[in-house]
Amino acid sequence: MEITVLMEPGEGNRYRATSLSLPGFVSEGASREEALAELRQLICDQLTHAEIAKIEVQLPGKPHPWMAFAGTWKDRPDLAEFEQNIREYRRQIDADPDRP
């Protein structure tokens, strides 16, 4: 995993490393490398008994932009023909030798 880190010089020739990707992880060291190593260790220690997951949250009051089209082709007798035309067109596009 790649983490974006803010490096700052501190007092007394020390360095502070702050994770911008994972809030709450901050370390200090006598050198830039030491501060980064300490931050790396803090994150690794936390991840030994945790996981990082992604979720999607739908904001209230804003319907998904594609919902307006949901079900509009349901029970259409020409749907299969329409899909076949799309597949044929796609094959033509893919077969074009001048296509970048």
pLDDT > 70: percent of the chain: 100
> pLDDT digit string (tens) for 9-46?
988 889 999 999 888 999 999 999 999 999 999 999 99
CB proximity list for 19: less than 8 A, separation 6 or greater: 3, 4, 5, 25, 26, 39, 43
Q: What is the mean pLDDT of the chain?
A: 90
Is the pLDDT at 57 greater than 90, yes or no? no
From CA 27, how far away is CA 10, in angstroms rounded? 11
pLDDT at position 16: 95
When pLDDT is cut at 50, 70 and 90, the band that residue 84 belongs to is very high
